[in-house]
Amino acid sequence: MVNNTSVSLESPLMSTYTRFPVTLVKGKGSYVWDDNGTQFLDFTSGIATCNLGHVPDAVKEKLEEQVQNLWHCSNLYHIPNQQELAALLTENSCGDQVFFCNSGAEANEAAIKLARRYAQKVKGTDAYEIVTFQQSFHGRTLATLSATGQEKIQQGFLPLVQGFRYLPYNDDAAIEQIAEIKPAAVLLELVQGEGGVIPANKEWVESLAQICEENDILLMVDEIQTGIGRTGTLFAYEQYSIEPDVISVAKGLGSGFPIGAIIAKNKAAKGFDPGSHGSTFGGNPLATAAGVATITHIVKSNLLKQVGEISTYLDEQLQTLKEKYSFIKDVRGKGLLKGIVVEINAAEIVQKAIDQQLLILTAGPNVVRVLPPLTATIEEINEFITKLEKAFQSN
């Protein structure tokens, strides 16, 4: 059992997190160390954030160079790293223009504002509703938790922000309703992460995109968790034969450095003009330095090919465990975003894994979520399987 005595029972921090009894002080690659020197295999990647592993050399060098020159300046001036990162994102996506912010919630806030403004200022309608889906997760701000299709996230924050309608995910009838509702936009995850690691059906997404195009409804894809190589392509939408009007990204974009963005097609980007939106720290020189180094490394290396190979191997190993343990009911997900559906309490498995020096997550009460860094090796996958099986056996 992990025994970390440095964690105080009384803390000046607000109680917004249920923290594990582990104090992490160092990380490199797929591993982190606590203040007692104990090494853990980290298959959370900071919740899909440290996609290149902890303290990747390429990003570290870029940040060290930038920290010697300029940390912050206002967006009233041109920022070279920002221009370079925007170019990298548009050159490697279906988008044309980028807005930078600090987090995934802020990226989805920007997408929500852009959708309303596009409908009202560009199209000249009074539309403001945005369709999202049951069990979705889009953030913790008041607007993004209102967009989230989970009541547990919304409890205690009523009244919610108006203008969101939740439809069933992967449901054909929902698509027909969208044509009738004629909302300003549709916002969806292509793999519902917090909602249980549930991939969208390809045919359903294609039909949804067609309905949006026919009715001039913005199609907005939340790639906060699935983006930046997590599913085996730079963006998950590439596997669905669609081109979203707006893509929200964050998490892996800065390899752990706080940054978020929306990437929009020219049509949608017309909704923003000077003064319509902003962010003091969004796209500052340090954050965009991390982003430039991260995206450059991914697109210029064979990392995405490696993700495909490693994820296939991981799938095979997890399927072997499923055949061995009857309480495992399903293994699902895309790329290196995996969900193990279990009949037992997933949180107990996560705690038992900590005892084995393994860090994993839940995605609801009965799903164990596994998020290896994209740089994980076969040897590390084998180590993970060994540790996870010991956690199963001690449960």
Query: Residues 191-217: pLDDT tens digits?
Result: 999 999 999 999 999 999 999 999 999
Spatial strand order in the sheet of 97-101: 97-101, 260-264, 246-249, 218-222, 185-188, 130-133, 164-167
Query: Cα(203)–Cα(223) distance, rounded to whole angstroms?
Result: 19
pLDDT of residue 5: 45
pLDDT band (50, 70, 90) for residue 11:
confident
pLDDT at 224 over 50: yes
Query: Residues 279-321: pLDDT tens digits?
Result: 999 999 999 999 999 999 999 999 999 999 999 999 999 999 9
| Burial degree of 374 (CB within 10 A; 0-12, 13-18, 19+) | buried
pLDDT of residue 394: 84
Query: Cα(98)–Cα(91) distance, rounded to whole angstroms?
Result: 11
pLDDT of residue 50: 98
78 backbone φψ class: left, alpha, beta (φ>0; ψ -120 to 50):
beta
pLDDT at 2 over 80: no
Instruction: Name 149's bridge partners.
Output: 134
Tokens of 47: 């919740």
pLDDT at 350 over 50: yes
Q: Where are the domains of the chain?
A: 24-42+303-393, 57-300
Its pTM stands at: 0.95
Query: Cα(279)–Cα(261) distance, rounded to whole angstroms?
Result: 11
What is the average pLDDT score of the chain? 96
- Do the beta carbons of residue 96 and residue 102 sit within 8 Å? no
pLDDT of residue 395: 66
pLDDT at 7 over 80: no
pLDDT at 4 over 60: no
pLDDT at 270 over 50: yes
pLDDT at 180 over 50: yes
Query: Cα(338)–Cα(119) distance, rounded to whole angstroms?
Result: 36
pLDDT at 1 over 50: no
Report CA-CA distances (Å) from 68 to 48, 62, 285, 287, 351. 29, 10, 11, 14, 41
Which 8-state DSSP code applies to residue 160?
P
- Provide, rounded to the nearest whole percent, the portion of the chain with pLDDT above 70: 97
The CATH number assigned to the domain with range 24-42+303-393 reads 3.90.1150.10
Query: Cα(395)–Cα(392) distance, rounded to whole angstroms?
Result: 5
pLDDT band (50, 70, 90) for residue 9:
low
pLDDT at 382 over 60: yes
* Residue 209 identity (one-letter amino acid): A
249, containing H or E segment: strand 246-249
The CATH number assigned to the domain with range 57-300 reads 3.40.640.10
pLDDT at 119 over 90: yes
pLDDT at 41 over 60: yes
273 backbone φψ class: left, alpha, beta (φ>0; ψ -120 to 50):
beta
- Do the beta carbons of residue 266 and residue 97 sit within 8 Å? yes
pLDDT band (50, 70, 90) for residue 70:
very high
pLDDT band (50, 70, 90) for residue 10:
confident
> In degrees rounded to 5, what are phi and psi of residue 26?
-155, 150
Angle at 385 between CA 335 and CA 333, to 5 degrees: 25
* Residue 130 identity (one-letter amino acid): I
Query: Cα(219)–Cα(211) distance, rounded to whole angstroms?
Result: 10
Query: Cα(183)–Cα(120) distance, rounded to whole angstroms?
Result: 12
Mean pLDDT across 28-57:
98
- Provide, rounded to the nearest whole percent, the portion of the chain with pLDDT above 90: 96
pLDDT of residue 294: 98
Could you tell me the sign of the dihedral formed by the alpha carbons of 149, 144, 52, 237, in that order? Answer: positive
- How many helices (H) and strands (E) would you count in the chain? 13, 17
47, containing H or E segment: helix 45-48
pLDDT of residue 369: 98
Query: Residues 125-156: pLDDT tens digits?
Result: 999 999 999 999 999 999 999 999 999 999 99
pLDDT at 44 over 80: yes
- Do the beta carbons of residue 215 and residue 182 sit within 8 Å? yes
